[in-house]
């Protein structure tokens, strides 16, 4: 929507924050206890197909301030939690010492910009997976960065149910791995086309699943591309809309899965560094001994999950629900994921 388009309050499908500077300035002035806030510039940040992130540059009295506003994108999906719920999760993990942007204000009044939103602090750094995995300036710092990423994830996994303020999260499954297998199989059964490699992977998971660990709070998208790095240091983890209770090894398998290594598939820790460094950082906080072998099952499940998501995204395009080249191309990832599932399971008992 351009500045000449309809007011965003009357068109919630598309929002240009530039059209709402005045209303946002008034809202933030109230939050700052009357200290005058004037938003001078806003910029849509890259990424965020499900949510939109906007950088706000403001003048607050005689000083400059940078915030990030987070709201639903037009393509928001039902599996994603609401902004009110995500704000609650972000607040809980921030209190637990997890490196995240500090959550500041939640606005449920849709009259301000046309949607609910929250504002958090703006952190330094880049989240670009391709840039982080190819940046030569990081070479000497990759080991330390992997340790930081492991430590940070372990701090998240200290949070156990029940947790005040997070009552809206679904009760943890008694067997999270089997619950995921059942969920993915139900989806595949709705499709007209058969995916035997995915069915094979699901059956392999049933036959090789480990005994579940006590449930912890999971990010469920803890991977390269969803955290910020500045000068070789982790500054914060982003995108908490899929958080929930589950087996903590799910997050470790997702982080280390080949599909999230971008330009460096040889670096098992998210394309950033060595898995041993990441697990050492995790162990230093959690006290839990894990090896690459312990994560094999969860890496298989990670590729199955991503394949199901890719098929769901493609269905949204093909059904006409949301025409998008990005969604259509996401569906083309499935053969690569099938190949990786077969490669990972080639030595399994199944």
Judging by beta carbons within 10 Å of its beta carbon (0-12, 13-18, 19+), is residue 60 exposed, middle or buried?
A: middle
Q: What pLDDT shows up at residue 123?
A: 98
CB atoms within 10 A of CB 63: 8
* Residue 350 covered by a domain: no
What is the SS3 assignment for 200?
A: helix
Query: What are the residue ranges in the chain where pLDDT is below 70?
Result: 1-15, 47-50, 74-79, 347-350
Q: What pLDDT shows up at residue 47?
A: 64
Q: What pLDDT shows up at residue 320?
A: 86
The residue out of 121, 143, 172 marking a domain boundary is 121
Any idea what the CATH number is for the domain that residue 219 is in?
3.90.1200.10
Q: Say yes or no: 71 and 209 in one domain.
A: no
Q: What pLDDT shows up at residue 15?
A: 63
Any idea what the CATH number is for the domain that residue 37 is in?
3.30.200.20
The residue out of 121, 155, 178 marking a domain boundary is 121
Q: Say yes or no: 192 and 234 in one domain.
A: yes
pLDDT of 176-227, one tens digit each? 999 999 999 999 999 999 999 999 999 999 999 999 999 999 999 999 999 9
The residue out of 87, 121, 155 marking a domain boundary is 121
* Residue 156 covered by a domain: yes
Q: What pLDDT shows up at residue 5?
A: 35
CA 69 – CA 48 distance, rounded (Å): 12
Q: Say yes or no: 335 and 280 in one domain.
A: yes
pTM for this prediction? 0.91
CA 263 – CA 284 distance, rounded (Å): 28
Q: Are the CB atoms for 316 and 185 separated by under 8 Å?
A: no
Q: What pLDDT shows up at residue 13?
A: 47
Q: What pLDDT shows up at residue 118?
A: 98
């Amino acid at each position: 929507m351009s500045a000449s388009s309809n007011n965003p309050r009357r068109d919630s499908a598309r929002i240009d924050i530039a059209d709402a500077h005045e209303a946002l300035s008034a809202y933030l002035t109230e939050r700052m206890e009357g200290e005058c806030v004037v938003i001078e510039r806003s910029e849509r940040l890259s990424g965020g197909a499900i949510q939109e992130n906007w950088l706000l540059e403001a003048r607050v009295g005689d000083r400059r301030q940078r915030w990030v506003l987070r709201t639903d994108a037009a393509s928001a999906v039902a599996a994603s939690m609401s902004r009110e719920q995500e704000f609650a999760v972000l607040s809980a993990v921030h209190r637990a010492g997890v490196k995240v942007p500090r959550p500041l204000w939640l606005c449920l009044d849709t009259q301000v910009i046309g949607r609910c939103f929250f504002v958090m602090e703006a952190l330094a750094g880049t989240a670009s997976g391709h840039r982080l995995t190819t940046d030569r300036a990081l070479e000497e710092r990759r080991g330390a960065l992997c340790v930081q990423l492991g430590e940070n994830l372990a701090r998240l996994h200290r949070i156990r149910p029940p947790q005040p303020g997070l009552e809206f999260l679904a009760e943890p499954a008694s067997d999270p791995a089997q619950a995921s297998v059942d969920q993915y199989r139900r989806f595949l059964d709705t499709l007209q086309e058969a995916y035997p490699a995915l069915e094979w992977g699901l059956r392999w998971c049933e036959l090789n699943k480990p005994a579940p660990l006590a449930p912890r709070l999971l990010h469920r998208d803890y991977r390269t591309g969803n955290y910020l790095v500045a000068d070789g240091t982790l500054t914060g983890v982003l995108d908490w809309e899929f958080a929930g209770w589950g087996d903590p090894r799910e997050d470790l398998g997702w982080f280390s899965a080949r599909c999230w290594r971008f330009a460096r598939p040889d670096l098992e820790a998210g394309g950033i560094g060595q898995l041993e460094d990441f697990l050492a950082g995790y162990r230093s906080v959690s006290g839990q001994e894990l090896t690459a072998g312990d994560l094999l099952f969860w890496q298989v499940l990670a590729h199955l999950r991503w394949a199901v998501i890719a098929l769901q995204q493609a269905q949204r395009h093909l059904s006409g629900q949301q025409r998008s080249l990005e969604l259509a191309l996401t569906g083309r990832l499935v053969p690569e994921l099938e190949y990786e599932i077969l490669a990972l399971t080639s030595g399994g008992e199944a």
